[in-house]
Amino acid sequence: MSKHTNIKNFDKSKRYKKSKRRAHSRHIKAVLCLCCCVMLIAAAFRFFKYESPSPPNDTEESTWSLILVNKWNYIPDNYKVKLTELKNGEAVDERIYHALQKMFNDARKDHIYPVVASGYRTAEKQQELMDEKIAAYESEGYSSDEAKSKAEAWVAIPGTSEHQLGLSVDINADGIRSTGDDVYEWLHENSYKYGFIYRYPKNKTDITGVINEPWHYRYVGTEAAAKIHEQDICLEEYLELQNGI
């Protein structure tokens, strides 16, 4: 074999090795790229799962949606809530998010424009509201005891507010395209279809312990909401009927 032939064979071997290294490098890059894509997809999935939580499972719904909280029944010490933040900064229990969103979307289709004025509240926030109300009555000349008593008719004692559950919202009008009366009327007629109830009717104050609040709506699930609406009863009465009391 000639010297020239040896050089040619050496060049071919060299080119083969380079080609093999390039192929190996491309393979590694492809694997790394695939791993990055998988990680990005997983991250996006987690993000959207948090922003748009799945609707609640109807078979498990009654275990949490019908919890009774009022001036005689405090929130359980072990109660925990997972929140979803709304566009305006308010937050609700993630399990009622879809129902609330659908209710608002359908209201807008009827040219009614509601807004969530207040959603979830911490115990600290609830206490702050109570202190402000008491101070307002004291400034009108009421004694401390009188101011506290009158304030409790408007503001729930911390630990007894449905807002701390994350299942209740105060709903007002946007003030531009709808009035408060427009919104309250639409909600009174339609909210039960989405699992919400007019929680504190004016004719049930002696049972609920709260004055009429046409803006306060509570999620109880569609089945319970339909029965409460049809029978014109409050949550306390519904639970008594369910428990056979």
- Say how far apart CA 111 and CA 108 lie, in whole Å: 5
Q: Which helix (H) or strand (E) holds 114?
A: strand 114-118
As given in the structure block, the two tokens for residue 140 are 């009108």
| Structure confidence at residue 4 (pLDDT) | 47
Q: pLDDT digits over 65-91, tens only? A: 999 999 999 999 999 999 999 999 999
- Catalytic, 60? Answer no
| Structure confidence at residue 63 (pLDDT) | 83
DSSP string, 195-243: TEEEEE-GGGHHHHSS--EEEEEEE--HHHHHHHHHHT--HHHHHHHHH
Q: pLDDT digits over 122-164, tens only? A: 999 999 999 999 999 999 999 999 999 999 888 999 999 999 9
Q: Which of 146, 213, 223, 237 is catalytic?
A: 213
Q: pTM of this prediction?
A: 0.74
| Structure confidence at residue 1 (pLDDT) | 52
At CA 96, angle to CA 63 and CA 58, rounded to 5? Answer: 45
Q: pLDDT digits over 207-244, tens only? A: 999 999 999 999 999 999 999 999 999 999 999 999 87
Considering all CA atoms of the chain, what is the largest pairwise distance in Å, rounded to the nearest integer?
Answer: 118
